[in-house]
């Protein structure tokens, strides 16, 4: 169940970050409550994942790494942000690091 909570945390964090982009960095103020709610729910899900027994190093590592990768891919798809080979290599290295942390936790 901890992985389900972590997936919810990641989804809410990535969505909130995308909405932050839509808000033009806070200039379109009507989106700010949505951004805040998204981050708040993300942290609530992350807390539930920890309470369900997931080690904090694994939870935070996966949450941040998958969040970075998903945000980069979503920003490319929605906003046309750059996603170069170097950036993709960085995402792969992050994923490899998180995998090592996960394997090391067991």
**Tens digit of each residue's pLDDT (9 = 90 or more) over 40-70:** 999 999 999 999 999 998 898 889 889 999 9
Task: Break the chain into its structural domains and give their ranges.
Answer: 2-104
**Residue 99: what pLDDT?**
82
Task: Report, as an integer, the average pLDDT of 29-41.
Answer: 95
26 pLDDT above the threshold of 80: no
Is the separation of the CB atoms in 54 and 17 below 8 Å? no
How far, in Å, CA of 6 to CA of 66, rounded?
10
3 pLDDT above the threshold of 80: yes
**Residue 5: what pLDDT?**
98
Taking the model in full, what pTM does it have? Answer: 0.87
How far, in Å, CA of 70 to CA of 66, rounded?
6
Q: In 3D, which of 61, 46, 57, 67 has the Cα closest to residue 3?
A: 46
């Amino acid at each position: 169940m901890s992985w389900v909570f972590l997936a919810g945390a990641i989804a809410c964090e990535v969505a909130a970050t995308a909405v932050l982009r839509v808000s033009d960095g806070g200039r379109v103020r009507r989106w700010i409550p949505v951004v805040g709610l998204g981050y708040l729910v993300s942290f609530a899900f992350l807390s539930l994942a920890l309470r369900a027994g997931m080690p904090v190093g694994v939870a935070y590592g996966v949450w941040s790494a998958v969040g970075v990768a998903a945000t980069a891919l979503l920003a490319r798809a929605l906003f046309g942000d750059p996603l170069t080979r170097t950036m993709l290599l960085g995402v792969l290295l992050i994923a490899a690091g998180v995998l090592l942390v996960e394997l090391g936790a067991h």
